[in-house]
Amino acid sequence: MKRSPHTRRSAEIAREKLAAILQTKVSDPALAGVVVTGCDVSLDRSLIRAYVACPAEDEEAVAEAFGRAKGHIRRLLGRALGWRVTPELDLRIDPSTEEAERITEALKHVPPTMAEEKDEEGYPIAGEPQGEDA
């Protein structure tokens, strides 16, 4: 969605209101550990695309719970926002947290050759041999 200062502010307000609704107004246990990581709002405010983070093993249960509670959440969000139009909700699982965990885990296992000094083309600089002493 196109981003302008107005839509950024609307998205931040929508994120805050949606997070508050999920914490206080929705009683589905599948949605208890869900974190709203961001929102995108269309220019005409008719659509909110909300990104949520949850444990990878709970993604399917969270998607089903959102499907069941979508109308209720949309109604509460429409009242909380007070916009002329109650926006449609497009709820998506945010892959960025899972990707960050994968990268963090990969960085724990950096190969020893990464620590060697390299030239501008990425080849090790010739000098003292790395490894066994002669």
Render each residue's pLDDT in the chain as its tens digit; 134 residues: 667 788 889 889 999 999 999 888 888 888 887 888 889 998 888 999 999 888 777 888 888 888 888 899 999 999 999 889 889 998 888 877 777 777 888 778 777 777 778 888 888 786 655 555 54
Q: Are 57 and 33 in contact (CB under 8 A)?
A: no
Residue 65, by phi and psi: left (phi above 0), alpha (psi -120 to 50) or beta? alpha
Q: Are 46 and 85 in contact (CB under 8 A)?
A: yes
- For the domain covering 5-97, report its CATH number: 3.30.300.20
SS3 state of residue 117: coil
Q: Are 20 and 5 in contact (CB under 8 A)?
A: no
- What are the structural domain ranges in the chain? 5-97
Q: Are 48 and 90 in contact (CB under 8 A)?
A: yes
